[in-house]
Amino acid sequence: MSLLDSPTVEGTSHIPNAMVCGRPLRAVMIAHALWMQRQQGGARADLTGGSFNELKLGHADFSRALLRSTNWINTDLAGAVLAGAMLEQADFRQAMLSQADLTGADLAGANCTGAWFREANLSECTLTAANFRMTRMAGARLLETKVHECDFTQAELNSSGWHQARLFRCQFSDSVLDGALFYSIKMQFCRFVSAVGKGITFSNATVQDCEFFKAEFPAGKFNRAKLERCNFRDVIFRDADFREAKLNGSTFQDAMFEGARFQGANCLGADFRGANLKGAKEFSPEMLAQSRTDQTTILPNGSFGPYFKGSGAERPAAR
């Protein structure tokens, strides 16, 4: 009996009889399933360089498969399992990966432009020099993922979870991040220019040398975050939470902080020149005295700066 006729391997009956790398895909996947189960006749799937364009492979199990330099353009992989797969340089343009499991996969150099990753699991992945421009990633999970030099420009990242991820030189400009969770991440040299993120969370995060020019983060949570040497110029922080945050050396020129909370924040060297702090709460005289203000700063009580200790201008004006 051939592998194609095997009745013992579950979860492969829906695999199409397409030819990939000169072999019947269903036979390769049956052998792979047997290999995963450590059964006789099994063989790890090696489809390096293969083309899966426009195939329907929803819920297929490619766990730990060798899939380097593969093509998946417009492929349906909704609910598929690619955990631990080797997907370096793979092309997922316009592919459907909603609710797919890519836990621990290696996507270095992958092109995912315009793909759908809604509620997908990319936790513990290796993402290096991958392209996620204009992807739909609402609800995606990237917990403890290493993200280096990746491009998320214009991506939809609402409610995505990045807990304890490590991000370096990534691009999030013009992305949508409403409700995104960057809890306890470590991030350096990333760009969020003109990003929008209502209720975004950076609690307990370490954010260094990043660019947020003209971003909008109303009701954002930055409590206990370390925001060091970052550019937050012209950012909207209405009703944001900066309690116990460290703002050392960051620039907040022309930013808007109406209703923001600052209890216990470290503002040493924070640049509030041109910022609108009217209605901002819980500033102490020491905090404002340690920051940079000038005649263009609107202080919490609505008066123009610079701030002078003892002036009482740290008390917020009624909204």
CA 292 to chain centre: 32
Which residues 6+ apart lie within 8 Å of 8 measured at CB? none
Domain regions of the chain by residue span: 1-45
Specify the amino acid at residue 159.
S
> For every one of its 319 residues, what pLDDT tens digit does the chain have, with 9 covering 90 and above?
444 454 445 556 678 888 898 999 999 999 999 999 999 989 999 999 999 999 999 999 999 999 999 999 999 999 999 999 999 999 999 999 999 999 999 999 999 999 999 999 999 999 999 999 999 999 999 999 999 999 999 999 999 999 999 999 999 999 999 999 999 999 999 999 999 999 999 999 999 999 999 999 999 999 999 999 999 999 999 999 999 999 999 999 999 999 999 999 999 999 999 999 999 999 999 999 999 999 999 999 999 999 999 999 999 976 5
Enter the DSSP assignment of 285: H
Phi/psi-derived region of residue 151, left when phi > 0, alpha when psi is between -120 and 50, beta in every other case: beta
Which residues 6+ apart lie within 8 Å of 269 measured at CB? 248, 249, 290, 291, 292
pTM exceeds cut of 0.85: yes
Partnered with residue 146 across adjacent β-strands are 126, 166
Per residue in 119-147, pLDDT (tens digit) is 999 999 999 999 999 999 999 999 999 99
Pairing of β 19-20 and β 23-24: antiparallel
Structure tokens of 126? 């290796």
Structure tokens of 1? 């009996």
Per residue in 93-126, pLDDT (tens digit) is 999 999 999 999 999 999 999 999 999 999 999 9
Please report, to the nearest 10 degrees, the dihedral formed by the alpha carbons of residues 25, 31, 35, 40 taken in order: 180
